């Protein structure tokens, strides 16, 4: 028998807010400085991927020593941190804050499960940090998505079973991580990217929690 849903875990970027453009500009600055090939097509492959893994995708097999990689990812993060200062409550996607409030009012636990090491800073900038019962980020576990570790860590912190969780994700790696954790996955974005999810919505605005609760 299917377990009752008790918690919702949200990816941050692309579900609650969208800092993709800031990531793109930060990586582009680094690529220009270090003469690396980078464009929006490459940037799409970085969705939901950790910082170092993102650099490996950009390097595309190019040999670079570990110290240089660390310096490059730190520099990219410095650029990104600067962009983050611009984020305000206005950057919450569509009616996501109202959706979060509704779930809380109905007694569901809500959490953030993000690969970003900057997730807490972003949530504070958005002024919704205190809404969440748990926050897991890139500092929480060793193995990044598509490994299930981040979501399993979140479920433990919420005090619920993985089968009692629904994950909302906009990245293929995140959908795979949710399914590997034995959770229900709701994809947000194009079918080509999140089509493995149990349910798919084209954008945040179209997410329907009544339908999610009914079908999952």
Residue 26 assigned ligand-binding role: no
Residue 46 assigned ligand-binding role: yes
Residue 95 assigned ligand-binding role: no
Which pair of structure tokens corresponds to residue 122?
A: 């972003």
DSSP for 99-140, please give it: HHHHHHHTT-EEEEE-S-TTHHHHHHHHT-GGG-SEEE-TTT
Residue 140 assigned ligand-binding role: no
Report helix angle 149-158 to 172-180, nearest 10: 60
Residue 27 assigned ligand-binding role: yes
Residue 114 assigned ligand-binding role: yes
Task: With CA atoms as reference, report the closest residue to 149 among 87, 104, 82, 139.
Answer: 139
Neighbours of 102 (CB within 10 A): 12
Residue 11 assigned ligand-binding role: yes
Residue 59 assigned ligand-binding role: no
Residue 49 assigned ligand-binding role: yes
Residue 102 assigned ligand-binding role: no
**CA-to-CA distance for 143 and 149, rounded, in angstroms?**
6
Q: Tally helices (H) and strands (E) across the chain.
A: 10, 6
In the set 13, 60, 133, 149, the catalytic residue is: 13
- Is 11 known to be catalytic? yes
Which pair of structure tokens corresponds to residue 94?
A: 């569509």
Cis peptide before 146 (omega within 30 of 0): yes
- Is 32 known to be catalytic? no
In the set 11, 32, 133, 149, the catalytic residue is: 11
Mark the binding-site residues, compressed into ranges.
Answer: 11-13, 27, 46-51, 54, 76, 114-118, 145, 169-170
- Residues marked active site are found at 11, 13
Annotated binding site for substrate: 11-13, 27, 46-51, 54, 76, 114-118, 145
Binding residue positions for Mg(2+): 11, 13, 169-170
């Amino acid at each position: 028998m299917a377990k009752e849903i008790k918690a919702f875990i949200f990816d941050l970027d692309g579900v609650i807010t969208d800092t993709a453009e800031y990531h793109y500009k930060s990586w582009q600055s680094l690529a220009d400085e270090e003469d690396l090939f980078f464009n929006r097509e490459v940037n799409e492959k970085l969705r939901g991927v950790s910082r170092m893994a993102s650099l490996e995708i950009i390097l595309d097999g190019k040999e670079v020593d570990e110290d240089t990689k660390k310096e490059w990812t730190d520099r990219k993060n410095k650029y990104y941190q600067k962009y983050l200062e611009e984020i305000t409550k206005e950057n919450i996607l569509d009616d996501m804050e109202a959706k979060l409030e509704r779930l809380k009012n109905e007694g569901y636990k809500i959490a953030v499960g993000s690969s970003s090491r900057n997730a807490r800073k972003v949530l504070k900038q958005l002024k919704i940090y205190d809404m969440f019962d748990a926050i897991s980020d890139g500092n929480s576990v060793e193995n990044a998505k598509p490994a299930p570790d981040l979501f399993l860590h979140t479920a433990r912190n919420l005090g619920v079973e993985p089968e009692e969780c629904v994950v909302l994700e906009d990245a293929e790696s995140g959908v795979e991580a949710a399914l590997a954790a034995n959770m229900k996955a709701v994809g947000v974005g194009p079918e080509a990217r999140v089509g493995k999810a149990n349910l798919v919505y084209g954008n945040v605005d179209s997410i329907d929690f009544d339908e999610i609760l009914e079908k999952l």
